[in-house]
Structure formats: structure tokens, C-alpha cells
């Protein structure tokens, strides 16, 4: 098997085993799916930690408001009585005003925390240091574990606007967020090795040869990232000669014989 050490930028992501005969179209999709799947698990874990600490998310029109503002506007959270954690809740006010403060009791809180810790370990970048490969099945299993923990603690489910539920249903809205910028959708994904783009119409073996015991570092990135690098290098301010001419005050002077 060919072992890929997948990076994004200079940051190590995960190890993945494949073969020299794999079409780059298929390999790019596989790597992008695992890359994005790990991001999804990480986002869910982050929100589940908040769920364990402060309960479910308030409706969007109530988030960030003070108790006085909510009372003045006569707003009511209809999901507060529908989405109660198993075994009752403990009030832990959310200072950010995103969640309703009705947190799970200590035992149920531990169920969520233990599961998030275990799943984060599965998709951790430390797996690469331990020489452990990550597969899409591992990512799917991690998502199932998280889903199961939420069902134990919230048997009646979560509100439709809660980020955890939205992630499970693939309805998350990441537009305008840092998390959204990190996602690399399959059509935009590129794999690079040794300064070359691994074109989808070829096989991996077209680039690295027939040796199945090869280990290589590949970088995953968006189409636009490469375009941005090119436009950055072509920018006038990146041209040292242009900067020098501006400094000397000779920019745009037309020379002609007398």
C-alpha cells in the first residue's frame, strides 16, 4: 500500500493508505471526504461541549438578548419544555446568551464529555504521529458515537436550530465563518505532491511509479488557494522592480528622444 501523509498548508492532518492504481479522481474525493469529515466531527464536539455545559440552543431571535429584553419583547422558547435532558436539568446560565442554561445533570454531562473526548482522539492529528491511518469508516463511526450520546441525553431530540442537530442532518450553515473557510468541497479540492498538482484524469502511479511501498506527503487545497497564490505573485506591489521604480519616482515616466 502507498501511504499518504496528508497536509493542509504546512499542518499535518492524517495518514491514508491507497494504491498506485487508484484514479486521482477517486483518491481526491476520498481524501477530501475524510478531511471534511474530521472537520465536521470537530465542530460537533465543540458544540456538544457547550450543550453539556449550558443546554440546548435558544431560538435565533432570542440569542444574545438579556432576560429583560426577552421579557420586554414577550419572546418564548417553545423548545424549552420539549427538549429536556434525561434525568432533569441543572441551571447553568450561558453568559453568551446562545443556550437556554438548562444543562444536563452531572451523569448525563459525563456521557457527552466522555464521548466527545473519545471521538476527538479518533480523528486527532496525533494519529499521524502514532502512525495510525484514518479511514472514512472511522469518521462515520465517530459521528455515530456522537449521535448516540446525544440520543441518550436528549431522548426527545434537539431543537431544529441547534447546531448539533443541524450538523447531524447536514443542514449546518457555515457561510461567513472561519469553519466554513476551512471546508474544501470535492469539486474544489486539489492534491499536490512535490510541487505538482495531481491531475484527476491520471492515476497516482502516473506520478510516483509502481512501487506500492512508497510513502509521500500530499497537500490538499482549494482551487482558489492556488489561484490566489498566482495573483499574489503577479500583483504589482509584489514586483520588486515596480516598488523600486515607485520609490525612485520614475514610475510611468515615458522616455523619448529629444
Per-residue pLDDT tens digits for 51-99:
999 999 999 999 999 999 999 999 999 999 999 999 999 999 999 999 9
Q: In what order do the strands lie in the sheet with 189-193?
A: 11-18, 2-8, 215-222, 189-193, 196-197
* Beta strands 89-91 and 215-222, pairing class: unpaired
Q: What is the pLDDT of residue 125?
A: 95
Give the integer Cα–Cα distance in Å for 235 and 21.
40
- Would you say residue 37 lies in a domain? yes
CB 91 within 8 A of CB 103: yes
Model pLDDT for residues 26-52, shown as the tens digit of each residue: 999 999 999 999 999 999 999 999 999
Domain residues for the domain of 175 are 2-49+118-225
Question: Is 64 part of any domain?
Answer: no
Domain assignment present for residue 19? The answer is yes
Q: Does residue 240 fall inside a structural domain?
A: no
Give domain status of residue 80, yes or no: no
- Per-residue model confidence (pLDDT) at position 224: 67
Report yes or no on 232 lying in a domain: no
Flag whether 111 is in a domain. Answer: no
Asked if residues 204 and 20 have their Cβ atoms less than 8 Å apart, the reply is yes
> How many domains are there within the chain?
1
End-to-end CA, the chain: 72
CB count, 10 Å around CB of 48?
22
The x, y and z cell numbers of residue 72, run together, are 420586554
Reading the chain (258 residues) residue by residue, the pLDDT tens digits are: 999 999 999 999 999 999 999 999 999 999 999 999 999 999 999 999 999 999 999 999 999 999 999 999 999 999 999 999 999 999 999 999 999 999 999 999 999 999 999 999 999 999 999 999 999 999 999 999 999 999 999 999 999 999 999 999 999 999 999 999 999 999 999 999 999 999 999 999 999 999 999 999 999 999 865 545 544 455 554 555 555 555 555 555 555 554
Short-list 223, 147, 151, CA closest to 189: 223
Q: Measured in whole angstroms, how far is the alpha carbon of residue 18 from the centre of its chain?
A: 23
168 located within any domain: yes
How much is the pLDDT for 218?
98
Amino acid at each position: 500500500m502507498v501511504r499518504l501523509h496528508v497536509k493542509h498548508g504546512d499542518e499535518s492532518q492524517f495518514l491514508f493508505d491507497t494504491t498506485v492504481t487508484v484514479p486521482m479522481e477517486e483518491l481526491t474525493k476520498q481524501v477530501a471526504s475524510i478531511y471534511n469529515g474530521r472537520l465536521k466531527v470537530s465542530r460537533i464536539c465543540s458544540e456538544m461541549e457547550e450543550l453539556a455545559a449550558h443546554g440546548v440552543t435558544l431560538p435565533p431571535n432570542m440569542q444574545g438578548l438579556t432576560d429583560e429584553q426577552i421579557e420586554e419583547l414577550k419572546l418564548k422558547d417553545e423548545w424549552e419544555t420539549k427538549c429536556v435532558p434525561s434525568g432533569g436539568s441543572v441551571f447553568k446560565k450561558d453568559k453568551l446568551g446562545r443556550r437556554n442554561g438548562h444543562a444536563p445533570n452531572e451523569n448525563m454531562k459525563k456521557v457527552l464529555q466522555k464521548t466527545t473526548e473519545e471521538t476527538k482522539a479518533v480523528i486527532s492529528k496525533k494519529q499521524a504521529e502514532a502512525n495510525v491511518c484514518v479511514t472514512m469508516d472511522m469518521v462515520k463511526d465517530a459521528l455515530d458515537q456522537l449521535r448516540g450520546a446525544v440520543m441518550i441525553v436528549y431522548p426527545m431530540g434537539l431543537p431544529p436550530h441547534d447546531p448539533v442537530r443541524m450538523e447531524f442532518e447536514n443542514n449546518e450553515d457555515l457561510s461567513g465563518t472561519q469553519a466554513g473557510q476551512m471546508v474544501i468541497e470535492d469539486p474544489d479540492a486539489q492534491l499536490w505532491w512535490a510541487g505538482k498538482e495531481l491531475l484527476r484524469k491520471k492515476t497516482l502511479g502516473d506520478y510516483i511509479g509502481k512501487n506500492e511501498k512508497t510513502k509521500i506527503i500530499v497537500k490538499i487545497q482549494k482551487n482558489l488557494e492556488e489561484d490566489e497564490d498566482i495573483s499574489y505573485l503577479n500583483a504589482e506591489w509584489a514586483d520588486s522592480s515596480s516598488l523600486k521604480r515607485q520609490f525612485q519616482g520614475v514610475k510611468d515616466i515615458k522616455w523619448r528622444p529629444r
